[in-house]
Structure 1
Amino acid sequence: MKRYRQFEPLLISDFEVSSWRHPEHNHNHYEIIYIKKGSGTHVINQVTIPYKDGDIFLLGPEESHYFEIDILSHFVYLKFTDLYLHQDVSNTNNYVQNLEYLIKSRETHLAGFKLSDNDRHTVARLFDMLITLKSEPLHNEELIWMQILALSHILKRNMPELKPFENRSKDMQAIFCYIHKYIYSPDQLRAPIMAGHFNITADYMGPYFKRNTGTTLREYVQNYRKTLIKQRMASGKYSLKQIAAEFGLTDESHVSKIINVL
């Protein structure tokens, strides 16, 4: 399978085509794809999803996809890497967490977002703005970032309905989404709290998770948190103190322990 590699932190493109020119492929970056107009089908991991004017898709590096176009279609692509996500984001951590929650949750990648009419109108305006800014990305860097943060907020409140994919049950998808949402709040990820949220007993929570995933709940949470922390450290934009505060950890030594021991 073809794999596209992007080295720039962010690329914005828009184009209109009547037939799709790319083979099935994956990539090393994330993509937010907006259908400005047109209709057809979007094939993601061999799952066929119809698309129409105003639809929006989010893909991660693990997804393979291509389009089958029925009616002349205008696509707008936002393609960005982890490096772009973890740029200098002073005073915007909550918004970055919205975006990170979206792009790290596979549940959001396998269906188009179902937006309300008002949100569809707002998203259309945001993409119009991004198109006008794309010709001078460095000059408009801050404005582009603001549009992406606004877009992530809208998408988060329009999460796709949780549907079973592959061997994962609807309940397990909900549990994964819960973990990804509350990864910054350790108290919410304790088995008794999670069990109460899903109306099951605390004694059942751990075995249920392991039976369906092959790993323990504790191991999954630790590994997911470790991945996010390592990405922040690799960006060079966060101090250990900032990371500890964001993830609800006691101090910098706790961050170091997560990275070096787990």
Structure 2
Amino acid sequence: MKRYQQFEPVLISDFSVSQWEHPEHNHNHYELILIRKGSGKHIVNGNPISYESGMVFLLGPEDCHHFETGEETHFTYIKFTDAYLYRKTGDHQKVIHDLEYLIKSRETHQTGFKLPDDELHTVRLIFNVIVALKDHILYNQDLIWYQLLTLSRILKRNMPELKTSGTQVRNLQAIFCYIHKNIYEPDLLRTRVMANHFNLAADYFGNYFKRNTGTTLRNYIHQYRNTLISHRMTSGKTSLKEIAAEFGLTDASHLMKIIQKK
């Protein structure tokens, strides 16, 4: 499978094609895609999804995909790397959390977003601003960044809520999304609290997760949190004290103990 490598922190593409020319591929970056017009199939990780004008897709480095255009399609791409995602911290933490949750929530990657008319109108306008900035990306990186954060907030509030109905209690995706959404709130990730949320006994909940994932709930939470912490540390823009506070930890020493724990 072909893998595209992007070394620039952010790139913007805006183009129309009658026939898609790229083979099935993945990449080392994230892609936020707006279908401005047209229809066809978007094949994501082997799953065909019918697309139409106004749909939005978010893909991560682990996703393989390609398009099959049914009619001429106008695409706008925002392609960004981890370096761009974590370029700012501090007051931007909450919106970075929104992007992290969207990126990790697999159901958004698979099916895309079908936005209500008022939200779609706003999203189209934001994409128009981004396209207008694309010829001078280095100069406009901050402006593009703020548009991206605004898009993430709109997309997050349009995600389907994960209910704890009988048909979804055993849906691992719902459990994963709960973890990703609450990774900054340690008290909400206790087995007893999570089991209660999904209307299950604590012992059954832990056993169910391990049986279906091959790892313990505690280990999954630990590994996912460490991945996010590693991104913060690699960016060099956040102190250990600030990272600890962001993840609800006592102090920097508590943070280091968690990182070093196997």
TM-score, reference length from structure 1 = 0.94
Q: Could you say which residue in structure 2 is the equivalent of 1:138?
A: 138
Tell me, yes or no, if structure 1 residue 235 matches structure 2 residue 210. no
Shift of 1:88: 2.1
Give the whole-Å Cα distance in 2 for the aligned partners of 1:99 and 1:133: 21
Give the whole-Å Cα distance in 1 for the aligned partners of 2:112 and 2:187: 32
Q: Could you say which residue in structure 1 is the equivalent of 2:84?
A: 84
Q: Give the % identical residues.
A: 61
Give the whole-Å Cα distance in 1 for the aligned partners of 2:222 and 2:90: 26
Give the partner amino acid of 1:64.
Answer: C
Give the partner amino acid of 1:230.
Answer: S
Q: How does 1:93-132 map to 2 (within 5 A)?
A: 93-132=93-132
Q: How does 1:33-44 map to 2 (within 5 A)?
A: 33-44=33-44
Give the whole-Å Cα distance in 2 for the aligned partners of 1:46 and 1:169: 26
Q: Tell me the alpha carbon deviations over residues 82-132 of structure 1, each in whole angstroms, 9 at most, x when there is no partner.
A: 111110233111111001111122232111112122111111111011100
Tell me, yes or no, if structure 1 residue 64 matches structure 2 residue 64. yes
- Runs ≥4 residues deviating over 3 A: none
Shift of 1:160: 5.0
Give the partner amino acid of 2:261.
Answer: V
Mapped contact 1:126–1:147 kept (Cα < 8 A): yes
Give the partner amino acid of 1:224.
Answer: Y
Q: Could you say which residue in structure 2 is the equivalent of 1:249?
A: 249
Q: Tell me the alpha carbon deviations over residues 158-201 of structure 1, each in whole angstroms, 9 at most, x when there is no partner.
A: 22577xxxxx9962110000000000000000011111111111
Q: How does 1:1-262 map to 2 (within 5 A)?
A: 1-159=1-159, 171-262=171-262
Per the alignment, in what secondary structure is the counterpart of residue 135 of structure 1? helix
Give the whole-Å Cα distance in 2 for the aligned partners of 1:159 and 1:69: 26
Give the whole-Å Cα distance in 1 for the aligned partners of 2:74 and 2:158: 22
Give the partner amino acid of 2:236.
Answer: G
Shift of 1:72: 0.8
Mapped contact 2:33–2:58 kept (Cα < 8 A): yes
Q: Could you say which residue in structure 1 is the equivalent of 2:165?
A: none
Q: Tell me the alpha carbon deviations over residues 58-95 of structure 1, each in whole angstroms, 9 at most, x when there is no partner.
A: 11111111000111111001111111111023311111
Per the alignment, in what secondary structure is the counterpart of residue 110 of structure 2? coil
Give the partner amino acid of 1:14.
Answer: D
Query: Cα RMSD over matched residues?
Result: 1.5
Give the partner amino acid of 1:235.
Answer: S
Give the partner amino acid of 1:256.
Answer: M
Per the alignment, in what secondary structure is the counterpart of residue 92 of structure 1? helix
Name stretches of at least 5 consecutive residues in structure 1 with no aligned partner. 163-167
Q: Could you say which residue in structure 2 is the equivalent of 1:165?
A: none
Give the whole-Å Cα distance in 2 for the aligned partners of 1:37 and 1:192: 47
Q: Tell me the alpha carbon deviations over residues 184-227 of structure 1, each in whole angstroms, 9 at most, x when there is no partner.
A: 00000001111111111122110111111111100000000001
Name stretches of at least 5 consecutive residues in structure 2 with no aligned partner. 163-167
Give the partner amino acid of 2:45.
Answer: N
Q: Tell me the alpha carbon deviations over residues 26-54 of structure 1, each in whole angstroms, 9 at most, x when there is no partner.
A: 10111111101111110111100011111
Per the alignment, in what secondary structure is the counterpart of residue 90 of structure 2? coil
Mapped contact 2:30–2:79 kept (Cα < 8 A): yes
Give the whole-Å Cα distance in 1 for the aligned partners of 2:59 and 2:169: 21
